[in-house]
């Protein structure tokens, strides 16, 4: 595969994950907003879920970041660019899982409790997804690409 095709593949997968998380959050918001029947939730249970959501957000992000860096450790400067990009794709998917888990969990908790305030955690995760999206510049920095490889990736 060419570097351009790998880059396109990385972006398609990345934004599909964002779209799925956002789509589910919108579904939950509409479900709650339209006043659909929901089972009552104990206030104590909701407090426990709130603590879990607050704890899972930084833990998921931390795990994603550490796993991402570990996935890039095997990349060496003498590897061909397509091999580096394949490794990067694997690492970025692991980081995405660390970001998506807290966002989806917050949406599920909002769905269970009927409390749309949990969707704010999902919104934060979507914003972080967009801030950490793979760009040519970020890929070049993460993989420490040479000038020639960076230009090859841009073109």
Task: Count Cβ atoms below 10 Å from residue 49 Cβ, excluding itself.
Answer: 20
pLDDT at 153: 84
pLDDT at 53: 95
Beta carbons of 145 and 81 less than 8 angstroms apart: yes
pLDDT at 74: 84
Over the stretch 103-141, which tens digit does the pLDDT of each residue have? Answer: 999 999 999 999 999 999 999 999 999 999 999 999 999
pLDDT at 27: 96
Over the stretch 29-49, which tens digit does the pLDDT of each residue have? Answer: 999 999 887 778 888 999 999
pLDDT at 15: 93
pLDDT at 39: 77
Residues 115, 104, 133, 98: what is their CA dihedral angle, to the nearest 10 degrees?
130
Instruction: State yes or no: pLDDT of 62 exceeds 80.
Output: yes
Instruction: State yes or no: pLDDT of 155 exceeds 80.
Output: no
User: What long-range pairs does 45-54 form, CB within 8 A, spacing at least 24?
Assistant: 46/113, 46/115, 49/109, 49/112, 49/113, 49/118, 50/109, 50/118, 52/105, 52/109, 53/102, 53/105, 53/106, 53/109, 53/118, 53/121, 54/121
Instruction: State yes or no: pLDDT of 152 exceeds 90.
Output: no
């Amino acid at each position: 595969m060419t570097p351009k095709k790998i880059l396109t593949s990385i972006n398609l997968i990345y934004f599909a994950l964002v779209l799925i998380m956002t789509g589910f959050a919108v579904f939950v918001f509409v479900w709650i907003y339209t006043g659909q029947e929901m089972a009552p939730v104990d206030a104590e249970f909701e407090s426990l879920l709130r603590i879990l959501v607050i704890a899972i957000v930084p833990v998921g992000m931390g795990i994603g970041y550490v796993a991402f860096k570990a996935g890039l450790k095997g990349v060496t400067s003498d590897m061909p660019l397509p091999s580096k990009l394949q490794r990067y794709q694997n690492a970025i998917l692991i980081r995405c899982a660390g970001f998506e888990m807290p966002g989806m969990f917050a949406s599920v908790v909002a769905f269970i409790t009927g409390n749309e305030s949990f969707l704010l955690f999902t919104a934060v995760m979507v914003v972080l997804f967009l801030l950490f999206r793979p760009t040519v510049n970020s890929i070049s920095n993460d993989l420490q690409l040479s000038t020639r490889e960076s230009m090859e990736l841009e073109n």
